[in-house]
Structures are given as C-alpha cells and as structure tokens.
Amino acid sequence: MSNLPFPWLALGMGLLVAFGLLGSGALGPADAYRLPVLTLLIVNEFGFFLTAIGAGIGINRLLSEGANGALLLSIIGCAVLASGFLYLGIRLWPGM
C-alpha cells in the first residue's frame, strides 16, 4: 500500500481539475467559454467520478480501519468537490 491513500490523491487531482475548469470560464456566460462545451463537460465528468470514487474508497477504508481524522477530512473534501462538479455539470449542460 502506498503512503498516500487514494482519497488524498483524488482530492488533489480534483482541485486541479476544478481550478482548470474555473480558469477556462466554466462559470461565466456561454459565449465566454475558452474551451468547447463538450470538452468542459468531459473534464467535469472526469472530476466528478474521480472525487466520488475517492469519497467512496475513503468511506470504505474508514469503516474497515476505524476513525481517522485526516481520512475523514479527505472524504469531506472529495464529497464537497463531487457535489460542486455535479452542480457545474448541470449548469454547463446546453439549454440549462
């Protein structure tokens, strides 16, 4: 097993994906996007699945190994990011 559990890696990569999406104008008006909408949606979906799986693996590890404050923090971070990606994906969808 590695020294850094997957939920922490998922949280870090999810933050990078989120900053990349925000930097590309994903929350701005539709005519201000710096990338095509399909690209934004695919990157957003990757971020969502990455952080949702990170939260799921973290919960599984938390239940098997017992209480761990650092692991709980990464689970909360992944869950917040996953819900943010879900919101952004719904907002990016054409016609919304």
* Span 17-73, pLDDT tens digits: 999 999 998 888 878 889 899 999 999 999 999 999 999 999 999 999 888 889 999
For every residue of 11-54, DSSP letters joined together read HHHHHHHHHHHHHTTTTS-GGG-SS-HHHHHHHHHHHHHHHHHH
- pLDDT higher than threshold 60 for residue 2: no
Looking at per-residue confidence, does 60 or 3 come out higher?
60
pTM above 0.95, yes or no: no
Which pLDDT value is given to residue 65?
87
Q: Are 78 and 52 in contact (CB under 8 A)?
A: yes
Which pLDDT value is given to residue 48?
98
How far is it, in rounded angstroms, from Cα 93 to Cα 76?
A: 26
Q: Which of 45, 51, 42 is nearest to 74 (CA)?
A: 51
Which pLDDT value is given to residue 41?
95
How far is it, in rounded angstroms, from Cα 95 to Cα 73?
A: 36
| Radius of gyration in angstroms for the set of CA atoms belonging to the chain, rounded to a whole number | 15
Which pLDDT value is given to residue 79?
97
